[in-house]
Amino acid sequence: MMNSNSDIKIIGLDEDRPPVVRKEAYIDLFFRLSQKTSVEWCEDFNKLGNQLEPPVKIDKKNGIFIETWIRDMQLIPAHLDKIKKKIIQCNELLEEKIRQQKLLLLSKNASLMGMDGEQNKLNQIVAELNFDG
């Protein structure tokens, strides 16, 4: 079963790799996440990150730093906002996958236990309860 990742967010920059003005016409950016992410989260985020220009990615092995670059330093805040939206989208996507897994598990359990339709309906309602705020 997947773990909840709804509270993943950017909390700063990688202290070991700060943005630096270089001779090349771009600046590398390494944003630190609030927690290490799962391989599945990384894969989903990389798909979403490819939609941005310039693209963003996260290494599935470390799962903690989002990597990107920018040509104009004035565009960093706008690019960060776009990345934050992709993180929210990725978190929501994973939460929906978790919800679907729970429903599937409940329906499997219901069929294994020979539960009637009413119990199955109740299980689905309980599985879909939102306890956030």
Domains of the chain, by residue range, sit at 10-94
pLDDT of residue 110: 64
Coil vs helix vs strand at 28: strand
**Which pLDDT score, from 0 to 100, does residue 85 have?**
96
Nearest to 133 by CA among 36, 3, 2, 7: 7
pLDDT in tens, the chain (133 residues): 344 556 899 999 999 999 998 888 899 999 999 999 999 999 999 999 999 999 999 999 999 999 999 999 999 999 999 999 999 999 999 898 888 888 888 777 766 665 566 777 777 788 888 777 5
User: Can you give the pLDDT at residue 55?
Assistant: 96
Domain topology for 10-94: Gyrase A; domain 2 (3.30.1360)
Q: How far is CA 18 from CA 27, 30, 76, in A?
A: 10, 7, 13
What confidence score (pLDDT) does residue 88 get? 94
Q: What are the backbone angles phi and psi of residue 10, rounded to the nearest 5°?
A: -80, 130
pLDDT at residue 104 in the model: 84
What DSSP designation does 31 have? Answer: E
Query: Residue 95 is which amino acid?
Result: E
pLDDT at 113: 60
DSSP label of 67: E
